Amino acid sequence: MEIIAALQSAVMADLPDGEPSDAELDAIEAEMPLILAEVELLDVQIAVMDRPFTDLSARRIRRARRRVLAARRDLTNLAVFELPGVAA
First to last CA, the chain: 64
Model confidence pTM above 0.85: no
pLDDT-derived band at 17 (thresholds 50, 70, 90) equals confident
Other Cβ atoms within 10 Å of 34 Cβ, number: 19
For residue 80, name the pLDDT band (cuts at 50, 70, 90).
confident
